[in-house]
Chain A
Amino acid sequence: MTAGEIAAHLLGSCRSLKQFDAYMFGSTLRGIGEDVDILVVGSSGDALSQLKQELQAAGEFLPLHILYMLPSEERRTNFVTREKCVQLGLVMVAAEI
């Protein structure tokens, strides 16, 4: 699967993603890579537990490596900018163009 296909698959399979900011980063954006790096930013709690279950099911045939961050952790580390993370929605749209 390409990065765009993976993004579309995750967005289509995981309804709870709407409650979070989700990004792709790392080697999958540039080619095949060892695994698929995903960043999820949002609060902990029941919604996150639900999302983890959905992502586990969606990743049955994918080597997903998912990093979950609280918004404060993302702000402090500036992770999105530093790692050149791209929103899943944009990854999907870019692949469709």
Chain B
Amino acid sequence: MSWQVKRALAYIAEQPRLSAQHVAGELIRIEVEDQPDVFAVISAVNKVDAATATSYRQEHPEMDFLCGYRKTCVWPGDTIEYLQRANIGWGSAGTLTSAAFDGEANTASHKTYFFPDRLLRQYGRVKELSREYDRIYRVTLKTGTVLKIGMIADYEPNADAVRSLWDEFGPVDIVWNINPNGSPSLEAIEAGIELGCEVVIWEELKERLRTA
């Protein structure tokens, strides 16, 4: 049994009303009181590309949810589209357990990015949204302005978080601290200025989108 499956089973065993068993390979079955069982693949990859997701689905057609067990796991936009079309939930271990509790494993998406995604999609000045990665969006406003936005979920994003986002995903116009209680450090804002982007919270982003 792989290390991440062992850890996932141990993690789920700590959760009330949940139990889980190893099925085969990276597939586990989660049993929840008053909800359908969930078949989930627990992956240790750093990036779940579309080929990887397709391979998991071929190997385990019963898969309800694909879990990227590493907190740093990255989900490209085409993978997300593929999984959503296939009625397979995706995201972190925390997303998996929440979705299992709610009986929504097949439709769940990474809970870290769920509300920011909704905020952007429902913001009236946004004309078009292209999700390049779980945390990277290309936003076309009704004015025609195009902005690339990167998200950081930390409570207190620091300079390294901003630089790492830039290094990993390329230049962005805006770094959005999506933690609702978050507050970027002064060093994070300064790192953004050095790189050439703004580091903002939602209220500031709204204003930026309103005036861009």
Q: Report yes or no: B11 in contact with A61, Cβ–Cβ below 8 A.
A: no
Residues in A whose Cβ lies below 8 Å from that of B154:
67
Contact for B11 among A34, A62, A67, CB less than 8 A: A34
Q: Report yes or no: B158 in contact with A73, Cβ–Cβ below 8 A.
A: yes
Which A residues, 47 to 73, have Cβ-Cβ distances below 8 Å to chain B? 48, 61-65, 67-70, 72-73
B72 contacts chain A at the CB level, 8 A cutoff: yes
Residues in B whose Cβ lies below 8 Å from that of A77:
156, 185
Residues in B whose Cβ lies below 8 Å from that of A31:
14
CB B167 to nearest CB in A, in angstroms, measures: 9
Contact for A65 among B71, B160, B161, B163, CB less than 8 A: B71
Q: Which residue of A is nearest B186, CB measured?
A: A76
B interface, size bucket: 20 to 34
Q: CA separation between A53 and B73, bound complex, in Å?
A: 16
CB B54 to nearest CB in A, in angstroms, measures: 24
Q: CA separation between A72 and B92, bound complex, in Å?
A: 31
Contact for B71 among A35, A48, A73, CB less than 8 A: A35
Chain B residues engaging chain A, CB cutoff 8 angstroms: 3-4, 7, 10-11, 14, 44, 69-72, 92-94, 154, 156, 158-161, 163-164, 185-187
Show 5 residue pairs from A and B whose CB-CB distance is below 8 angstroms, ordered by the A residue.
A32-B7, A34-B94, A63-B71, A73-B156, A77-B156
Q: Which 5 A-B pairs have the closest CB atoms?
A: A68-B160, A65-B71, A32-B10, A61-B3, A73-B158
